[in-house]
Chains A and B, each alone.
Chain A
């Protein structure tokens, strides 16, 4: 159980184009999903917290107009990188949270999407 998928697994695009990444929880409903970015040899950096049916909460320094997040259902969240530039090239990973009681929320990660902007 607790399987999270991401699509696409990798994408190459030209500078200025937009890229949409999908994150799905396959065997559970996740009220909360998270989007992370990881640059080479660095730790995970949380970009935003996404709750079903409400606006995402972005971390400080993350441009909400550039990284559009939509959490339309309990099993699907999407991240759109708008007007991508080479500096946006990174490994984007989503996670979905399962709760088994107060203070026990556990995140399960998708396989990640490697974005390369030329």
Chain B
């Protein structure tokens, strides 16, 4: 079982719709969870961090964490073509200090 799992996609949504990106992780002791966006040929850019159960909203982005289910998600409201990118889920595993483990990433395509 991979430590951080994501569906590689592509996930296609029409412009203006809600995009839902999901991630599961295997280590129950994980404490920190991150979503990064990576455009093709570029380095990852931090979108959201979440540390406790529940929802965290920042503009059009909402991160959701459920530690009991070992599940973290990212919702993008009013999706725009500029949101088309690969979204990486990253988890700090227990005992790993600052080291994070990345999922393979989900490719999102927002169709105009």
Contacts and interface: CB of A to CB of B under 8 A. Distances in A.
Contacts of A49: 98-99
Contact of A93 (B43, B49, B51, B92): B43
B61 interface: no
B31 interface: yes
B104 interface: yes
Contacts, number: 52
Interface string A37-74: 00000111010010000000000000000000000000
Which of B36, B49, B99, B105 has most chain A Cβ within 10 Å?
B99
A107 interface: yes
Contact of B99 (A46, A108, A112): A46
Interface residues of B, number: 23
Interface string B86-101: 0010101000011110
A109 B44 contact: yes
Contacts of B46: 106-109
Interface of B: 31-32, 34, 36, 41-46, 49, 51, 88, 90, 92, 97-100, 102-105
